[in-house]
Structure 1
Amino acid sequence: MQRLIGLLVFCAALVAGWYWMSYQRFLETPLVVPEQGLVLKVERGTSLQALARRLQGEGVLADARLLYWHARWHELAHRIRAGEFLVPPGTTPPGLLKILIEGRPVEYRLTLLEGWNFRQVMTAIARDPVLRKTLEDAAPEVVMQALGHAGEHPEGRFFPDTYSFPRGTSDRDLLARAYRRMQQVLAEEWAQRAEDIAVKTPEEALILASIIEKETGVPEERARIAGVFTRRLKKGMKLQTDPTVIYGMGERYDGNIRRRDLREDTPYNTYVHRGLPPTPICMPGREAIHAALHPAPGDALYFVARGDGTHVFSATLEEHNAAVRKYQLKR
């Protein structure tokens, strides 16, 4: 009997040792993932047990039970998070758990460009394949209400930048970030504004910056263009800037501005109305906002495009008309 008991104990020890060695090999053996890594998507509410079975079925994980038992033993099974995670080559089962618990989710990017209007912003968001759509086809006033800014015009309220976000982020979340960023940048630039400027409020600075953004072809001219508009505003002259006319035309704009368009009485037509238009006409970047609040000194009251992105600046109407004949009518 003692020999039998001894034999059973010995066999049990062998089996335990074999399982222990298998367990250790499992912990040390990397998962089977592609050279570029594996983007692992974990849906909200997915259990580690279900995830492990899925990975075993896909040939990524050798033994789902061992991963689950290991996680249970170390009280990790209920700490995994939802999201998308990048699993690089060489990742072991314990490393996988660390990624699922502590790793940063995979992030995607969307760029909102300087000079875009609100319609272009919403089109880019609608076309993004990752963002969760909650405002698709919503009217502008509905979008602003969803953001907590009911009654506010959406144009120019969102800062142009590249935004990173994980899958599951909503279009509302991204717009809220862009809105807060614009408010932050505008406040920072307003706090450092020059003394002798034409705009009286951050709102007016944003409107002027949006016009500068649309008029500027080369970055080094932003402050000079801001100077022209600042002097015209101080003198009570009409701004007479084409981008405001184009914005007022809306979807009717076909690439050409005609005489009748310059005479059309829209709220945004600065050939008809003095001062700034009622709202921004696009999203200005920080540089345009800075230029609006730090206009370059000088005596120029006019500018005309050369056709290469730069402008000719003139102090008198006669000089300006000569530049128009040279660079616009002749062309």
Structure 2
Amino acid sequence: MRRIGWVVLALLLLGGSWAGYQGWRMWWKPNVAPSAEGPAYLFIRTGATFREVLDTLARQELLQDTATFRWLAVRRGYPLQVRPGRYLLTSELGNRQLLDMLQNGHQDTLVFELNAFKYKPQLARQISRQLEADSTSLRLLLADNAFLQRTYQLDTTTILTLFLPGSYRLVWNTSAHQFLDTAAAMHRRFWTPRRQQQADSLGLTPVQVHVLASIVQRETSKKEDKPVIAGVYLNRMRRGMRLQADPTLLWAIGNFGVKRVLNKDKLVDSPYNTYKHKGLPPGPITSANRQSLDAVLKPAAHRYLFFCARPDHSGFSDFAETFGQHKQNARRYQHMLDSLRILR
């Protein structure tokens, strides 16, 4: 009898050890499927159900054992706590760690790169390619004049001045409204008291600085020329001259691929036609970056009133104080276009 007792005890201990091992395996053993491409991401859309999460895990083969994850998730109450987001799945994660991450909403952030854009639909497409927010929701907000004035003190024309190209650290399920708030926060950080004082000394509002910077940015990519070009336009404005900025014409006709501005372009009926209308156009023609904005805030001091691209394809400009000098510079550039048979 004593021997039987020892056997039973041994079997119980063995069974307990086996049960303990199975419990450890279900909770802690790594369950994320390894991949030669490195860590994977689980995307959970806003409003997604537990069933949809399971379908995504199975369809993308993200787990080694979906059954144990489902069994434990139900007992942890996860079906009632599904949180949207972009979750980083590394191969060492077990079911316990994975559920902790998903239930607490500890998603991985991403670096959203906002590139310079000229038209609102281009911004909407950038958003929809990198974030959950769809382009339609953003377009509706950007077209809501009352909302923009109430929330950001801007309108449907000047709202483009809110956006600074660059890197934004965001969560994937950032909504269109949240993105606008993030852009507004970065905009406020840019406009320090010092920059505001610089704008005041030029007699410009922040919106006007953005508009002029957008023209400077379209005129040149050369850092050295930007403050000089900004100074040209400010000199013209002080004298009551029209800006006569070719990039504003290209924005008005909707074609930035034009290499040669024609006289017929200068007749376009648009408030952005700075050959017809004095002063700045009503809004920016691209989202100005920090370099262009600071070029306007700290323009070069000179007496130039004209400039023209150099014919050497360097990207730099030739500057002139008189129209006669400018005509000579322009003629050299036009001869270069003629030699290359660039008619448009």
User: TM bucket by the smaller chain?
Assistant: 0.7 to 0.9
- Of residues 153, 159, 164, the one that matches 2:164 is 159
Which deviates further from its counterpart, 308-317 or 19-28? 19-28
Which residue of 2 is the match for residue 242 of structure 1? Answer: 246
Instruction: Specify the alignment match of 1:181 in structure 2.
Output: 186
Which residue of the partner structure matches residue 83 of structure 1? 85
Aligned residues of 1:210 and 1:280 also touching (Cα < 8 A): yes
User: Is 1:202 aligned to residue 206 of structure 2?
Assistant: yes
In structure 2, do the counterparts of structure 1 residues 175 and 196 end up closer, same or farther at CA, with 3 Å as the change threshold? closer
Taking the aligned partners of 2:268 and 2:43, their CA distance within structure 1 comes to: 54
User: What is the SS of the residue equivalent to 1:159?
Assistant: coil
**Alpha-carbon deviation of 1:182?**
3.0
Distance 1:104 1:254, change over 3 A: same
**8 Å contact kept, 1:86–1:106:** yes
Within 1, Cα distance between the matches of 2:291 and 2:284? Answer: 16
Question: Amino acid of the residue matched to residue 40 of structure 2?
Answer: L
- TM-score in terms of structure 1 length: 0.78
> Equivalents in 1 of 2:254, 2:48: separation in Å?
46
In the alignment, which of 260, 272, 276 is matched to residue 276 of structure 2?
272
Residue type at the aligned position of 1:169: T
CA–CA distance in 2 between the matches of 1:216 and 1:273? 22
Does residue 22 of structure 1 match 2:26?
A: no
Shift of 1:2: 9.3
Indicate if the aligned counterparts of 2:41 and 2:87 stay in contact, CA closer than 8 A.
yes
Q: Runs of 5+ in structure 1 lacking a partner?
A: none
| Partner-residue secondary structure (3-state), 1:219 | coil
Could you give the per-residue CA deviations for residues 96-121 of structure 1, whole angstroms, max 9, x where no partner exists? 34433567424455433235333432
AA in 2 matched with 1:30: P
> Residues 169 and 28 (structure 1 numbering): CA distance in 2 closer, same or farther, change over 3 Å?
closer
Equivalent residues of 2:124, 2:139 under 8 A apart: no
Moved more, 106-115 or 317-326: 106-115
Residue by residue over 1:180-226, the C-alpha shift from the partner in whole angstroms, topping out at 9 and shown as x without a partner, is: 433442455633517752x3322221221111111123122111111
Indicate the residue corresponding to 1:291 in structure 2. 295
* Cα deviation, residue 270, structure 1: 1.6
Q: Is the 8 A contact 1:26 1:62 kept in 2?
A: no
- Label 1:21 to 1:195 Cα distance change in 2 as closer, same or farther (>3 A): closer
Evaluate the alpha carbon distance shift between residue 271 and residue 209 of structure 1 in structure 2; reply closer, same or farther with a 3 A threshold. same
Match of 1:156, SS state, is helix
Equivalent residue number for residue 190 of structure 1: 195
- What is aligned with 2:35? 34
Specify whether residues 289 and 245 from structure 1 end up closer, same or farther in structure 2 by C-alpha distance, changes over 3 A only: same
Q: Which letter maps to 2:291? A: E
C-alpha distance 206-37 of structure 1, shift in aligned 2 (>3 A): closer
Identity percentage over the alignment? Answer: 26
Q: Distance in 2 between matches of 1:66 and 1:260?
A: 68
* Residues 274 and 45 (structure 1), Cα distance of their counterparts in 2 relative to 1, 3 Å cut: closer
Q: Which amino acid aligns with 1:18?
A: W
Tell me, what secondary structure is at the counterpart of 2:123?
Answer: helix
Deviation at 1:162, TM superposition (A): 3.3
Taking a change above 3 Å as real, the CA distance of residues 236 and 20 of structure 1, as seen in their structure-2 partners, is: same
What residue in structure 2 maps to residue 317 of structure 1? 323
Name the counterpart of 2:342: none
Q: Which amino acid aligns with 2:175?
A: S
In structure 1, C-alpha distance between the alignment counterparts of 2:275 and 2:178, rounded to whole Å: 38
SS state at 2:143 partner = helix
> Alpha carbon RMSD of aligned pairs, Å?
4.1
* 2:173 counterpart (168, 171, 174): 168
